[in-house]
Chain A
Amino acid sequence: MESKIIIPAPDPLALPAPYWLFLTLLVLTFLLHIIAMNFMFGSGILAFIAYQKSKSEEVFGRIYESIVKKIPTLMAATITLGVAPLLFLQVLYGQFFYTSSLIIAWPWFFVLIFLVLAYYGFYSVAFSTHKKSNLMGWILIFSVVLVFVIGFIYSNNLTLMETPQQYAVKYHEDPSGMNLNLEDPTLIPRFLHFLLASLAVGGLFIGTIGLYNWEKDNAYAKTILTFGGKWFNYSTMAQFIVGTWFMMSLPRESIRLFMGRDLTGTLSLTIGVIGAAIAIIIMSKALKSDDPRSGFKKAAWLTGLVVALMTVIREIVRESYLKTFYISHNFDVDTQWGILIIFLVSFAGGVWLWIKMLRVYFKETATT
């Protein structure tokens, strides 16, 4: 009786647009979210490292200050971009996602409280007139730790979501929502994988501060670019170990998909891994040269591609996990044309206006 697999019935209402459209939007918006999240989290950690280094090296104080000023905006981007995949995830995988969230309801609910605290923490450091004080250092690390915990809770929910075998047992053990998914063998490597990715991508973000200041203050720009670039290299190297660990922790079924069983999966993974390796080589070379800018940019774009491929891989893994419980082509579709067109038009108009706002803003602030 206890080992029974329980999954809620999918929603009886038809999908208001074809499956592929939702899937595309899910993957696309998730990619944007994850990049913003990496920027924010990675910058948070690196800001703290810079804070520590500033005690011995003057220039790191400056680096630290310029990073912390940007974190609140990165946080805003992370949250705003996170709303969309959360929406589309519920459309496609509602019966799994609501259930796993419910089973770990309390930790999941606490994400909100941690998020508000971390957010205000980042803001207080950014707005402080004594950024380098001890207090601000503490607030910063406190906020970073909160984000770390949030990430960990997310990993718990998303691994649990993909393993319906666990639902009934866990729920009946404690219906009050005081659960996590610690027994899942992929949990730790998966979480570390995201952590390292954040450091690497965060390093790239920090490096771009150097790119923008290259003409204005060359020595400083070079230090910060090297700082970001080095962290990119270290964490991407470590990723080879953690990534392999993560991969091996997956069920056999899923691993096989990347060993030739699934063409998109195998290609994505192969190109992804090779891409990451090349990015490290380019970056190392660049950091040794006098003008690392073009090498840095190349490595960054290449990494962007790798992250995009990883997002695709992520979706393939999810589908393989849920394969026996979920048939993606089984949806009734009843497209709501009117509002769908309104959305598409607003979306296109929104992107245009968004770019225009930023261009006008940066053009005017650059001249004053």
Chain B
Amino acid sequence: MNYPVWDISMGTGMLMALVAIIHVFVSHFAVGSGLFLLVSEKKAYKDNDTHLLEWLKMHSRFFILISVVYGAVSGVGIWFTIGLISPSATSMLIHTFVWAWATEWVFFFLEITSALLYYYGWDKLTRQTHLWLGWIYFISAFMSMVIINGIVAFMLTAGDWPDTQNFWDGFLNPTYGPSLAIRFVFSLALAGIYAFVTASRIDDPDVKAKIIKWANMWIIPAFILLPFIAMWYIGNVPTAQWESALGAMPTATFYADLIMYAAIVTFVLAVLAWFMARRVSFVYSMVLLLSALATMWSFEYIREAIRKPYVIGRFMYANGLLESPSDTDGGFSVEKIDEKGILNTARWIKYDHITEENKVDVGREIFRVECQSCHTVDHYRGIKNIIGAKKWDRGTIYKMLDGLDLMRNAVMPPFSGKDEEREALADWLAQVTSAPSQKQEVSGDGAQVYNTYCNSCHNYKPHDALFRRLKSWNKEKTMARLDSLPALFNRMPDLELSEKERSTLIDWAKEQFNGEKGK
């Protein structure tokens, strides 16, 4: 609300994802390849292997074109993009970690210089100097990772930082160690995978087989190690947050499945290639590359997804609002906005008060400043479909807005603002989703009632409060109790289910999980 929102229909999230994915893939490759080139070059000297050496020269050109050019520009790209998409968070990160970034910049400088000298230095420098440059490259690339990893991990698990605001508390946060391990081991695998790609184009089958196998010796062990490191990583993410990836949040769950398949496919392809190394084709190598890409991409995606509702763990929500107020926060905390209202706080809204005529437009602007960091109107995570599918009427929409922070394993910040502003947002949402003006009775069975009104906050699991209660209470009592949901639990919306809806819901719920034991 402090900054304007870049209002594009495809959603800024997608754009960020696009820039990030390619950068991540390239930047990890750049680190692993440092060690790969170095070790391979040493090996070539030791074995007096001219084929390997010739291929390395060719491979290092490819390496330069990818890492020095693309890696550097897309790294700047990440900066540009997060500045456009989450300016408040970027500013906060910069103020906290500017010296970490500045230190990283020193290593980045050494990295680029040594990479170029390494490449241009083939056949011109003594072997010793050439390897020395290789070392400088690898160490500085690794140091960049050591630093950036701290900041990226911080956004997921801020550790004690929100309380102390001490640099080291934020930097050396709970996922720092496992995250660095995942990144480094993966970078070694990637170095092997890119080598695999350039090696697949070698004509001489013997040379090709030798290099493919050598590349594989980087991929296979890494993929054996990764599951263990992943477990270490998950162990350091708060359990409630990890739930998101286990079904509570649709998108995160999708990628949690994808990462397993992709990792297995990558591993199997690499192992198979070991036995047919002479015949590995370029297409084969590209499939391997793509499945590795899917693995890395899923990892980053899950990390971003389970971070929600926050952009900085337990501190700032994705829409830039602060979880708790402080003296200097400019009024951008949930609490203060509830008190003062959105129109009095958000700087880039055209209206300063609500009238009968501008209500719907105000609602649109509220959606822009509070929801659009994660939703679009009708593209990615489009609100039109999400709400439209539920066929909520305007009144239900209004009520549900009060419980956003309870939905889908708490992936959303609470709605923050005055009551009339919530009305305005509901009006606009009702308009775009062509919602009925009156509540209409759900015509289908209990499952449909559940999916319409309850599954936003409740999970289809035997141990969920809804199923536990509905199964154990007798029907009559339940009919009465469901008449007023807030009386059951004060944060539940008063959904005013009809008698028929209640009845079918209860009957249906009683039938669920009968084979399984409820926890």
15 additional A-B residue pairs with CB within 8 Å, beyond A11-B95, A332-B328, A364-B121: A8-B347, A16-B96, A83-B75, A88-B98, A91-B95, A94-B87, A99-B3, A105-B6, A105-B84, A119-B69, A123-B65, A127-B61, A336-B167, A343-B102, A347-B106
Contact of B110 among A76, A350, A364 (CB under 8 A): A350
Q: Which residues of B contact A240 (CB under 8 A)?
A: none
B95, B109, B124: the one within 8 Å of A368 (CB) = B124
A18 at the interface (CB under 8 A from B): no
Known: A87-B98, A102-B6, A177-B8. A364 touches B348 (CB 8 A): no
Tell me the complex Cα distance, A339–B96, Å.
Answer: 11
| Shortest Cβ-Cβ A-B pairs, 10 listed | A9-B330, A98-B87, A175-B7, A350-B106, A13-B95, A12-B328, A339-B99, A112-B77, A8-B2, A94-B91
Question: Cα distance A112–B6 when bound, in Å?
Answer: 17
Which among A137-145, A209-217, A274-282, A354-362 touches the partner chain?
A: A354-362
Q: Does B401 contact A (CB under 8 A)?
A: no
Q: Which of B117-174 contact A (CB under 8 A)?
A: 117, 121, 124-126, 129, 132-133, 136, 165, 167-168, 171
Residues of A within 8 A of B113 (CB): 354, 357-358
Q: Determine which of A76, A80, A127, A339 lies in contact with B167 in the assembled complex, contact meaning CB atoms within 8 Å.
A: A339
Of the candidates B91, B103, B109, B326, the one whose C-beta lies within 8 Å of that of A354 is B109
Q: Is A326 close to B, CB under 8 A?
A: no
Assembly CA distance A175 to B107 (angstroms): 38
A339 / chain B contacts, CB cutoff of 8 Å: 99-100, 103, 167, 171
Q: Does B298 contact A (CB under 8 A)?
A: no
Given contacts A90-B90, A105-B84, contact A80 B98 (CB under 8 A): no
Q: In the complex, A72 Cα to B80 Cα: how many Å?
A: 22
Is A1 in the interface zone, CB < 8 Å from B? yes
**Complexed CA–CA distance, A1 and B133 (Å):** 60
Residue contact B8 to A98, C-beta cutoff 8 Å = no
Instruction: Point out the residue from B74, B87, B112 that lies within 8 Å of A76, measured CB to CB.
Output: B112
Asked if B81 and A365 make an inter-chain contact with CB atoms under 8 angstroms apart, the answer reads: no
- B378 near A: Cβ within 8 Å? no
- Complex CA gap A358/B118 in Å reads 11
For the complex, what is the distance from the CA of A87 to the CA of B79, rounded to whole Å? 9
A342, CB-defined interface residue at 8 Å = yes
* Cβ–Cβ < 8 Å partners of A255 in chain B: none
Binding site for A on B (CB under 8 A): 2-8, 15, 19, 61, 65, 68-70, 72-77, 79-81, 83-84, 87, 90-92, 94-96, 98-103, 105-110, 112-114, 116-117, 121, 124-126, 129, 132-133, 136, 165, 167-168, 171, 326, 328-330, 332, 347-348, 350, 352, 368
Which residues of A are found within 8 Å of B19, using beta-carbon distances?
112
13 contacts between A and B (CB under 8 A): A13-B92, A15-B95, A76-B72, A83-B76, A94-B87, A97-B83, A102-B87, A105-B8, A116-B73, A123-B69, A175-B6, A339-B99, A339-B100
Considering the complex, give the chain B residue whose CB is closest to the CB of A122.
B69
Q: What residues on B are CB-neighbors of A354 within 8 Å?
A: 109-110, 113
Q: Is the Cβ of B84 less than 8 Å from the Cβ of A338? A: no
Interface size class of chain A, counting residues whose CB lies under 8 Å from the partner chain: 35 or more
Chain B residue contacts of A347, Cβ below 8 A? 102-103, 106
Give the chain B neighbours of A364 by CB distance below 8 A.
Answer: 121, 124-126, 129
B209 smallest CB distance to A (angstroms): 29
Would you call the interface of chain B mostly helix, strand, loop, or mixed? Answer: helix
Q: How far is the CB of B90 from chain A (nearest CB, A)?
A: 7
Q: Which of A25, A172, A177, A332 makes the CB contact (< 8 A) with B6? A: A177
Residues in A lying within 8 Å of B, measured CB to CB: 1, 6-9, 11-17, 25, 72-73, 76, 79-84, 86-88, 90-91, 94-95, 97-99, 101-103, 105, 108-109, 111-112, 115-116, 119-120, 123, 127, 167-168, 171-172, 175-177, 332, 336, 338-340, 342-343, 346-347, 350, 353-354, 357-358, 360-361, 364-365, 368
A123 to B125: give the CA distance in the assembly, Å.
23
Q: Please indicate which of the listed interface residues A6, A81, A336 has the most CB atoms of chain B within 10 Å of its own CB.
A: A336
Across-interface contacts of A340 in B (CB, < 8 A): 99
Residues on B with C-beta less than 8 A from A115 are 73, 76
List the A residue with the shortest CB-CB distance to B86: A98
The residue of chain B having its C-beta at the shortest distance from the C-beta of A87 within the complex is B101
Interface pair A343/B4, CB less than 8 Å apart: no
Q: In whole Å, how far is A252's beta carbon from the nearest beta carbon of chain B? A: 29
B134 to chain A, nearest CB (A): 12
Q: Which residue on chain B has the smallest CB distance to residue A72?
A: B69
Residues of chain B with a CB closer than 8 A to A101's CB: 80, 83-84
Q: Which residues of A contact B103 (CB under 8 A)?
A: 339, 342-343, 346-347
Residues of A near B348 (CB, < 8 A) are 6, 168, 171-172
